[in-house]
Structure 1
Amino acid sequence: MTGDLGAKAPKYQRIADELRRDIKNGIYKPGERLPAEAALLERFRVAFPGLSLETMRSAIRVLRAEGIVEARHGVGTFVSANRRLQRRSRDRYGRARTDGKLLTAHLRHEIPFAGRGPVPEHVAEASGMETGDEVVIRCRVLFDRETGKPQEVGASYLPLEFAGGTLLEEPTVVPKALFLCVEELSGKQYRHARDHWRWRMPTPAEADALQIPRGTGVAHLIHVAKAEDDTLLEVSESVWPADRIEIIDEYDVTQEAEDADGLSDI
């Protein structure tokens, strides 16, 4: 936005702007607790007479949504210490083929469940599978190695034809990227992928696992991967606190429509 829109912005936005500048200038440092609400009210009522507590809280919510600050239940609001995680979807497979590591090797992996179970409805809708079909399910929780803070929860859904009765049914971290294991077991290579992104409120279980307030939004990705012959190889889903991720999609700009029916709504 340009021009004098800032001067016309609502109070909460202008307060958020000032706090953002304070953080950028090092007045409040990463990991440091912001002043209590009462202290912030006293400070900003000088410039905004009659400022309400709800307006002050709205300003803090703006910074939380941007990932600049984070709320710690029962403790207060702190300047975020961790940078946002980046997902470069188009480079993930090539990098893992080269180094043989997990796709998210920078995070610590835990597998709380691996075994057979039914395909959830939302996964079936995205992938073309039938709701309730039995597949191998591998649930995961990923943690920051330095802080121990959970960063992602998710699961992979794998056809029984090649995943059943294999190491993929064991609740242990695989020795290399999961897709490399799938390629060995299926005899097929990943050739096509489609990502379905949604932003929503977390379920109670997701909020607990990610250690976030239940009013904090999450980003939900369903990733569908197929072989060249259109065989479904894997459906994976990942959930992150929305204020902790940044999506990087870098690509060549086509000059003609590759899919005339695939027009974007936004």
Structure 2
Amino acid sequence: MARVVKTHKLYQQVTDGIRDDITSGVYSPGDALPSEARMIEEYGVSRTTLRQALIILRTEGLIEIHHGKGAFVRHRSTAATALDRPRTRPLQTIGDVHSSREDANPATAALLGIAEGSALYIWDTIATEPTTGRRVLTRTLLPFAAAEGTSLETDPFPERPAMLATLATRHGKLTAKEHVTARMPTPDETTALALPDITPILETTLITAAKGRTVLAETETISAEGIQLVYPIKQG
């Protein structure tokens, strides 16, 4: 480690220094980083600056922090979690499932391209990914107008393939577009996702439409720590 040159971006220099030590093999997967006191002394920075750097490295998926034990280099096999699309990975619901019929507020109306006050079916869950243990918040919005005249009026949330088949039969060919947003969580999201302090989240919303009209919106919210999005690309 080398003492950094003091600028207004000290935390970035510390981040770069620790990252270089990890990627060059100074620290191997599973190794503990030096104590906070030692790194503060060697880099010549404050505790706040050092912790900013460690938060960035944790978010990048390079380290994990165990309270009371310190920071450890993540094993490369788990340094980044691949989030596959479309939504075919299994999720295990924890706690209660909340389903309701509500009127569209300004945010949901804008998302779905419908008038405020339009009737919606809403399905909310907290789930986990069995392979990683990460918590995932899911929300499905089904406009009543899209379900009208189908079995979805009485059973709005069957298994996803059945829902899509019903919507396709009623409305014709379906198309989809996904919106991906990284942001900081609300206090409720921090609690629901059991996030460490100052952890960004990744929000992905899949909008399904038919004939230019949105018939379904599916949102997943997950910790952005160490996430890589993996999309299949069709060539030719």
- Cα-to-partner distance string for 1:74-124 (whole Å, 9 max, x where unaligned): 7654444634333454xx2xxxxxxxxxx3334424462123233343232
Q: 1:245 aligns with which of 220, 227, 232?
A: 227
Matches within 5 A, 1:48-197: 48=43, 50-71=44-65, 76-80=70-74, 82-89=78-85, 92=86, 103-110=87-94, 112-146=97-131, 148-150=133-135, 152-160=136-144, 161=148, 162=150, 163-166=152-155, 168=157, 175=159, 178=160, 180-186=161-167, 187=169, 188=171, 191-197=174-180
Question: In structure 2, do the counterparts of structure 1 residues 226 and 74 end up closer, same or farther at CA, with 3 Å as the change threshold?
Answer: farther
* Cα distance in 2 for residues equivalent to 1:26 and 1:107: 37
Amino acid aligned to 2:100: G
Q: Distance in 1 between matches of 2:111 and 2:192?
A: 24
Deviation at 1:57, TM superposition (A): 1.9
Distance in 1, matches of 2:132 and 2:119, equals 37
Equivalent-residue separation in structure 1 for 2:190 and 2:66 (angstroms)? 13
2:191 counterpart SS class: helix
Distance 1:155 1:211 in 2: 18
Cα displacement (A) at 1:197: 2.7
Within-5 A mapping of 1:23-34? 23-24=22-23, 25=25, 27-30=27-30, 34=33
Give unpaired runs (5+ residues) of structure 2. none
The whole-number CA distance in structure 2 between the counterparts of 1:88 and 1:126 is 23
Which amino acid is the alignment partner of residue 12 of structure 1?
Answer: Y
The alignment's TM-score, normalised by the length of structure 1, stands at: 0.67
SS in 2 for 1:212: coil
Structure 2 CA distance, aligned partners of 1:70 and 1:122? 35
Counterparts of 2:20 and 2:203, CA distance in 1: 30
Q: How many residues align?
A: 221
CA 1:106–1:165 in 2, change beyond 3 Å: closer, same or farther?
A: closer
Q: Find the counterpart in structure 1 of residue 217 from structure 2.
A: 235
- For residues 198 and 139 of structure 1, the distance between their equivalents in structure 2, rounded to whole angstroms, comes to 19
SS at structure 1 position matched to 2:225: helix
Which amino acid is 1:184 matched to? A
Contact 2:62–2:226 under 8 Å retained in 1: no
The one-letter amino acid paired with 2:29 is: K
**Residue aligned with 1:126, SS:** helix
The alignment status of 1:199 with 2:182, answered yes or no, reads: yes
Alpha-carbon distance in 2 for matches of 1:107, 1:83: 21
| CA shift for structure 1 position 132 | 3.6
1:130 is matched by which residue type in structure 2? A
Q: Distance in 2 between matches of 1:202 and 1:233?
A: 27
Equivalents in 1 of 2:90, 2:172: separation in Å?
Answer: 24
Cα RMSD of the aligned pairs, angstroms, is 3.4
